[in-house]
């Protein structure tokens, strides 16, 4: 994993959290190949066995909104370890299940743990990294986690064929034990999650609303009583509305839906729902098209989707890095455009399409979804204060569940409709007519998504500000960075040479300076370490007892190199990305960044413009003055 300036302890914490997330995602995709074997072994039909998937989704969706409450009430270490233990226990119950109902109970236990774990893991990982590095960080997270669904179906098929379906759950049990041992050694508590109130009515509203909506959506395509499904969806929407209304009325809401007041975050959630609907819906439709129309085996259908999943994971990493450097606009447009191209490719499928064409279209689809999803989600979360991240993650995950169920129901219902109205007398062609109608609707759906990206996802100045959401009212005892920063910071013009920068740093004694353009926009950072490192390529470092000296290999070369400093622009040596903090960030955040990144000074930037610098000494002086004032106040009282 890239360092991102994290300490070894923080890296180990991220590894432990990622390990838990990978297990949860792997578990969700591992079971599909084992469903036929479970049907034969436990004597259940296809309608019954599907509840292993449906009940898992329903339970996870109901639990996710409560994750923010758990994060505020329990220590993060206890929450992760307890969640993993419950996840492992559910896997063990499923592995030993003598009848189907016990197996279903094990899956529900898994889902209860998964709903809390995924929200907690993503919130903790996001908060571990500074805002300006979250794009690249989430790209790596997407890359690592993305391999789980890519290998899940293939691994599951191998285990079922070689050992049996119980091996799927036994594998998870063994991996959970390993993660628990590792996590118990490296995890520490993250402080700062807002403590929320447990409201029984809220839980009732969210449970009835989400369960009714998701059950109605999931059953719509296969039910013989469509009117019941529609009624359930209406009930679900009503109760979700009551849930939302109550959250805005409570003094301490279980889930702070105020995150949706941020236009950026709201756009990101809508985009995420659409992408999840396309991803999950096509994930169900593609294997059916490959097997039922093109006539290939289940193994081949799994291998067809593998390259797209793997390359899509790497695309998420690339998208995160592009986002950190250039913002969301460019990479989002590229992703949306190629997603539209993949939709055109699916529209061109026929009953005799070459397999290589299907593979290529699937690869384009997998890559483009990640190019759009990773930066858009990070862009949305970065519009919020850190105290809202845990709630935003819960909202996003819940919305994704609804999006996935909606996409599956919509695509499969349209497919069934297309087959029923087909005029072909050949069975394969009638089936394909249904799939083709679904691909046509998918193309229309992706066209709308492309327009959303073009008109709504922009790099406006207000969008680039991490804390662009309304700043919460200052609470007693809280201080902002703007109160401690030094506005007379040393700056170096973007047109300066290396010799100019060296003289400026030597004159002031500062360890570094921000490089700015004529509008005082931060463009880079140059430190004395950067300057010294510039010479290290042609020098030896000689260390002795109590001293370190630089000995030139060739004195003439060093003199020439110093002379050339007059012609080298400072930006050729400087660090391009400026690690910075917003002026309305909390005092504690500045302390954390200076300590964890081992910085001596931290630039304060707003809308790209340098406002000042926070030095370690500034923080020490502020702490000393504050303590002295509090002591005087205490003595007077």
Is the pLDDT assigned to residue 556 strictly greater than 70?
Answer: no
> Does 179 lie in the same domain as 284?
no
Mean pLDDT of 8-35: 77
- Per-residue model confidence as pLDDT tens digits over 519-535: 778 888 887 777 776 65
Residue 342 lies in a domain: yes
Residue 577 pLDDT level (bands cut at 50, 70, 90): low
Q: Report CA dihedral (351, 355, 360, 365) to the nearest 10 degrees.
A: 50
Report if residue 4 sits inside a domain: no
More confident residue, 379 or 97: 97
The verdict on 301 and 433 lying in the same domain is yes
pLDDT the model gives residue 531: 73
Poorest-pLDDT segment among 18-32, 140-154, 449-463: 140-154
Count the neighbouring beta carbons within 10 Å of the beta carbon of residue 622.
17
Reported as a single tens digit per residue, the pLDDT across 176-202 is 999 899 988 887 766 545 555 567 787
The two three-digit tokens of residue 305, written as one number:
């989707």
Confidence of residue 41 (pLDDT cuts 50, 70, 90): confident
Tell whether 397 is covered by a domain.
yes
In the numeric block, the tokens 């996003």 are attached to: 396
Q: Does 9 score more than 80 pLDDT? A: no
Q: How far apart are CA 49 and CA 55, in angstroms?
A: 10
DSSP per-residue string spanning 298-314: HHHHHHHHHHHHHHHHH
Q: What is the pLDDT of residue 337?
A: 94
Q: Does the pLDDT value for residue 545 go beyond 50?
A: no
Last residue of one domain, picked from the residues 196, 216, 234? 196
Q: pLDDT (tens digit, 9 = 90+) per residue, 207-259?
A: 788 778 777 766 665 567 778 888 988 998 899 889 888 878 877 676 677 77
Kindly state whether residues 410 and 301 are assigned to the same domain. Answer: yes
Q: Which domain holds residue 149?
A: 10-196
Cα–Cα distance, 213 to 207 (Å, whole number): 10
CATH of the domain at 302: 1.20.1250.20
Q: How far is CA 37 from CA 49, 104, 113, 156, 160, in A?
A: 10, 15, 26, 12, 8
Give dist(CA 217, CA 385) in Å, integer: 34
Q: What's the chain's length in residues?
A: 637
Does 506 share its domain with 621?
yes
Specify whether 583 is located in the same domain as 504. yes
Rounded to whole angstroms, the Cα distance separating 626 from 603 reads 22
pLDDT at 436 over 80: yes
CATH assignment at residue 536: 3.10.580.10
Tell me whether residue 243 is in a domain.
no
The mean pLDDT of 308-334, rounded to a whole number, is: 80
Lowest mean pLDDT among 5-19, 230-244, 465-479, 588-602: 465-479
pLDDT confidence tier of residue 90, bands split at 50, 70 and 90:
very high
C-alpha to C-alpha distance for 172 and 89, rounded to whole angstroms: 10
Task: Label each residue of 558-590 as H, E or C.
Answer: HHHHHHHHHHCEHHHCCECCCCCECCCCEHHHH
The string of pLDDT tens digits covering residues 471-510 is 333 444 566 777 777 777 788 888 888 888 888 877 777 7
Quick one: 190 and 329 in the same domain? no
Whether residue 220 lies inside any domain: the answer is: no
Same domain flag for 427 and 530: no
Of 170, 196, 222, which closes a domain? 196
Looking at residue 189, its pLDDT comes to 65
Indicate if 419 and 489 belong to the same structural domain. no
The residue among 173, 196, 219 that closes a domain is 196
Determine, yes or no, domain membership for 241: no
Instruction: Tell whether 28 and 175 lie within a shared domain.
Output: yes
270 and 133 together in one domain = no
Categorize the per-residue pLDDT at 145 as very low, low, confident or very high, splitting at 50, 70 and 90: low
Q: Which of 500, 401, 404 is nearest to 114 (CA)?
A: 401
- Per-residue exposure over 137-160, b if at least 16 CB sit within 10 Å of its own CB, e if not: bbbbbbbbbbbbbbbbbbbbbebb
560 and 433 both lie in a single domain: no
How does pLDDT run across 365-405, given as a tens digit for each residue? 889 988 888 788 778 877 776 566 666 766 777 777 667 66
DSSP 577: S
pLDDT the model gives residue 181:
92
Mean pLDDT within 596-619: 76
Asked whether residue 218 is assigned to any structural domain, the reply reads no
How confident is the model over 260-276, as pLDDT tens digits? 777 888 888 888 888 87
The pTM of the full predicted model, rounded to 2 decimals, is 0.56
- For every residue of 349-404, DSSP letters joined together read --TT--HHHHHHHHHHHHHHHHHHHHHHHHHHHTTS-GGGHHHHHHHHHHHHHHHH
* pLDDT number for residue 364: 93
Mean pLDDT of 98-123: 84
How many domains does the structure of the chain reveal? 3
Percent of the chain with pLDDT over 70: 71
Which of the pair, 22 or 400, is modelled with greater confidence? 22
Do 187 and 48 have their domain in common? yes
């Amino acid at each position: 994993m890239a360092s991102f300036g994290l300490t070894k302890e923080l890296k180990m914490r991220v590894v432990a959290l990622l390990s838990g997330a990978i297990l949860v995602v792997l578990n969700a995709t591992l079971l599909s190949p084992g469903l036929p074997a479970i049907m034969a072994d436990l004597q259940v039909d296809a309608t019954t066995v599907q509840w292993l998937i449906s009940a898992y989704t329903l339970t996870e969706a109901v639990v996710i909104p409560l994750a923010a409450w758990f994060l505020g009430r329990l220590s993060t270490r206890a929450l992760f370890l307890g969640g993993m233990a419950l996840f492992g226990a559910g896997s063990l119950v499923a592995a030993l299940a003598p009848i189907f109902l016990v197996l279903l109970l094990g899956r529900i236990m898994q889902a209860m743990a998964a709903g809390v774990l995924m929200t907690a893991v993503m919130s903790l990982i996001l908060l571990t990294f500074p805002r300006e590095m979250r794009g690249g960080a989430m790209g790596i997270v997407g890359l690592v986690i993305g391999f789980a669904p890519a290998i899940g179906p293939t691994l599951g098929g191998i285990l079922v064929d070689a050992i049996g379906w119980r091996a799927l759950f036994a594998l998870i049990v063994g991996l959970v034990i390993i993660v628990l041992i590792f996590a118990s050694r490296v995890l520490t508590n993250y402080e700062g999650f807002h403590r929320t109130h447990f409201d029984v009515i809220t839980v009732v509203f969210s449970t009835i609303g989400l369960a009714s909506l998701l059950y109605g959506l999931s059953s719509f395509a296969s039910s013989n009583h469509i009117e019941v499904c529609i009624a359930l969806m209406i009930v679900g929407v009503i109760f979700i509305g009551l849930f939302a209304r109550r959250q805005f009325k409570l003094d301490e809401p279980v889930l702070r839906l105020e995150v949706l007041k941020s236009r950026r975050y709201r756009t990101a959630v809508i985009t995420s729902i659409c992408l999840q609907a396309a991803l999950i819906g096509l994930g169900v439709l593609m294997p059916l098209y490959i097997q039922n129309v093109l006539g290939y085996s289940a193994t081949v259908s799994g291998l067809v989707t593998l390259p797209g999943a793997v390359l899509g994971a790497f695309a998420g990493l690339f998208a995160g890095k592009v986002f950190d450097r250039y913002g969301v606009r460019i990479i989002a447009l590229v992703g949306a455009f190629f997603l539209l191209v993949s939709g055109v490719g699916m529209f061109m499928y026929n009953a005799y399409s070459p397999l290589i064409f299907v593979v290529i279209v699937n690869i384009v689809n997998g890559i483009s979804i990640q190019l759009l999803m990773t930066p858009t989600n990070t862009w949305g979360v970065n519009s919020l204060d850190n105290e809202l991240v845990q709630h935003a993650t819960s909202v996003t995950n819940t919305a994704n569940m609804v999006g996935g169920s909606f996409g599956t129901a919509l695509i499969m219902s349209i497919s069934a409709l297309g087959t029923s109205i087909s005029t072909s007398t050949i069975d394969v062609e009638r089936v394909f007519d249904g799939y083709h109608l679904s691909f046509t609707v998918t193309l229309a759906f992706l066209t709308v998504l492309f327009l959303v990206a073009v008109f709504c996802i922009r790099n406006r100045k207000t969008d680039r500000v991490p804390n662009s959401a309304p700043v919460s009212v200052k609470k007693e005892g809280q201080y902002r960075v703007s109160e401690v920063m030094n506005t007379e910071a040393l700056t170096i013009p973007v047109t300066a040479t290396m010799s100019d920068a060296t003289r400026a740093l030597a004159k002031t004694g500062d360890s570094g300076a921000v490089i700015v353009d004529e509008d005082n926009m931060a463009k880079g950072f140059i430190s004395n370490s950067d300057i010294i490192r510039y010479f290290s390529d042609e020098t030896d470092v000689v260390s002795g007892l109590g001293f370190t000296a630089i000995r030139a290999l060739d004195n003439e070369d060093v003199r020439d190199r110093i002379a050339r400093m007059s012609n080298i622009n400072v930006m050729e040596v400087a660090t391009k990305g400026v690690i910075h903090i917003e002026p309305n960030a909390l005092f504690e955040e500045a302390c954390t960044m200076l300590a964890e990144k081992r910085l001596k000074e931290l630039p304060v930037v707003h809308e790209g413009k340098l406002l000042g610098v926070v030095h370690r000494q500034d923080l020490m002086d502020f702490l000393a003055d504050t303590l002295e004032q509090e002591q005087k106040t205490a003595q007077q009282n």
